[in-house]
């Protein structure tokens, strides 16, 4: 197959530190190339890939803006239209669904990377001919019914997380430092459990409570049991996880997937999470991590239930369930289904009615 993967203009492929969507694009491209497909990745100029790489922006554009997204997506899809011989176009931005109307008849696959947002759900009603992908069953359950949708879990290359894994004397939190992710709760849990916590990630504000970082997070980052690492990329993340007693995930939102949980499991580090979003699907309690009902149970796990945890079994099971090749094979099958079922008259009718 000849496949176009349209990433975002906001983070390089693969990301230097923060960037879940872009890491998935990278892993998918690498796996598809290894399986013999002709793949073009439309990303930023500071990206790298075994696939053919095309870019408009020489460097990632941060912070994200709608104008940059529109510029990037329209450029990418116009380039795809000029070539005209792609079998599948796989996009990761809702904006691309609208622009794809201008493509010649070709199946457009769109992966949802976000929790349900009503404005986006209403937007999707205009595009019944697109092929949607949910990244967890919980995300799919919460989304509006879509005419074509499947669930494909993210996958990673386990080789990137190799190394001796042992439970050290600290726990960790890695991810976006925003209220819904619960970094402040993780810091409190570590303090009450009597262990150090190492925190990796950049601080993200929230329009609903812009004062939250200053009020709740920044004072905690200065506490004596906290080591704040700033943003961490793969080179820093892997040794952090290999030697952490656990990854704390006190989720206060419906996490659509949570790649860091998968990364932790592949490093043999058990995630300890509130059962929100995808966590109950990803974590097998006692085998690859722990699901806890609240703060008190999370403290109990950190204090009393980690010493006997089988870290090698954890990483082996994670590799079995979430290997990159499983994700790539699932997308490959979905692409083939989309190619077989896409018909020119149907697509033209949808474009005309829209």
316: pLDDT strictly greater than 50: yes
Residue 303: both structure tokens together: 């204090």
Q: How far apart are CA 208 and CA 37, in angstroms?
A: 44
Q: pLDDT band for 104, please (50, 70, 90 cuts).
A: confident
How sure is the predictor about 75, in pLDDT bands with cuts at 50, 70 and 90? very high
Q: Which residues of 90-106 are buried (b: 16+ CB within 10 A; e: fewer)?
A: bbbbbbbbbbbeebeeb
Cα 184 from chain centre: 22
Report the C-alpha gap between 178 and 188 in whole angstroms: 15
**pLDDT tens digits, 105-164:** 899 999 999 999 999 999 999 999 999 999 999 999 999 999 999 999 999 999 999 999
pTM listed for this prediction: 0.94
State how far the Cα of 175 lies from the Cα of 263, in Å rounded to an integer.
11
* pLDDT tens figures, 264-294: 999 999 999 999 999 999 999 999 999 999 9
pLDDT at 168 over 80: yes
For the chain, give the mean pLDDT.
94
Q: At what angle do helices 311-322 and 324-341 cross, to 10 degrees?
A: 10
Q: Can you give the pLDDT at residue 26?
A: 98
Confidence class for position 84, pLDDT limits 50, 70, 90: confident
pLDDT of residue 79 exceeding 90: yes
Instruction: Go through the domains of the chain in sequence order and give each one's CATH number.
Output: 2-155+323-353 (3.40.50.2000), 159-321 (3.40.50.2000)
Please report, rounded to a whole number, the percentage of residues in the chain having pLDDT higher than 90: 92
- Position 343 scores a pLDDT of 59
Instruction: Report whether pLDDT(346) > 60.
Output: no
CA dihedral over 186, 187, 191, 192, signed as positive or negative: negative
């Amino acid at each position: 197959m000849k496949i176009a993967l349209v990433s975002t203009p906001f983070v390089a492929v693969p990301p230097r530190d923060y960037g879940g969507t872009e890491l998935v694009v990278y892993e998918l491209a690498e796996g598809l190339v290894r399986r013999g497909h002709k793949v073009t990745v439309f990303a930023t100029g500071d990206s790298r890939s075994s696939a053919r790489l095309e870019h408009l922006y020489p460097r990632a554009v941060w912070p994200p803006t709608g104008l940059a997204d529109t510029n990037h997506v329209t450029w990418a899809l116009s380039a795809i239209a000029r070539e005209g011989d792609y079998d599948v176009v796989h996009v990761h931005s809702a904006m691309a669904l609208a622009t794809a109307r201008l493509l010649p008849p070709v199946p457009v696959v769109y992966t949802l990377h976000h929790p349900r947002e009503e404005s986006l759900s209403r937007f999707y009603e205009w595009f019944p001919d697109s092929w949607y992908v949910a990244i967890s069953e919980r995300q799919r359950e919460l989304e509006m019914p879509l005419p074509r949708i499947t669930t494909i879990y993210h996958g990673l290359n386990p080789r990137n997380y190799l190394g001796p894994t042992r439970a050290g004397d600290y726990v960790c939190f890695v991810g976006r430092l925003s209220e819904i992710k619960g970094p402040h709760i993780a810091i409190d849990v570590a303090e009450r459990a009597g262990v150090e916590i190492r925190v990796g990630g950049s601080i993200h504000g929230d329009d609903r409570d812009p004062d939250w970082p200053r009020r709740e997070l920044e004072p905690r980052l200065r506490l004596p049991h906290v080591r704040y690492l700033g943003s961490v990329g793969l080179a820093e993340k892997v040794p952090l996880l290999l030697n952490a007693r656990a990854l704390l995930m006190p989720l206060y939102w419906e996490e659509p997937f949570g790649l860091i949980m998968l990364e932790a499991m592949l490093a043999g580090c058990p995630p300890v999470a509130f059962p929100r979003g995808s966590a109950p699907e990803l974590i097998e309690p006692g085998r690859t991590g722990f699901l806890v009902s609240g703060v008190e149970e999370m403290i109990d796990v950190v204090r009393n239930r980690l010493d006997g945890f089988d870290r090698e079994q954890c990483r082996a099971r994670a590799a079995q369930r979430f290997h990159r090749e499983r994700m790539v094979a699932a997308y490959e099958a979905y692409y083939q289904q989309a190619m077989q079922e896409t018909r020119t008259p149907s697509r033209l009718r949808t474009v005309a009615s829209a």
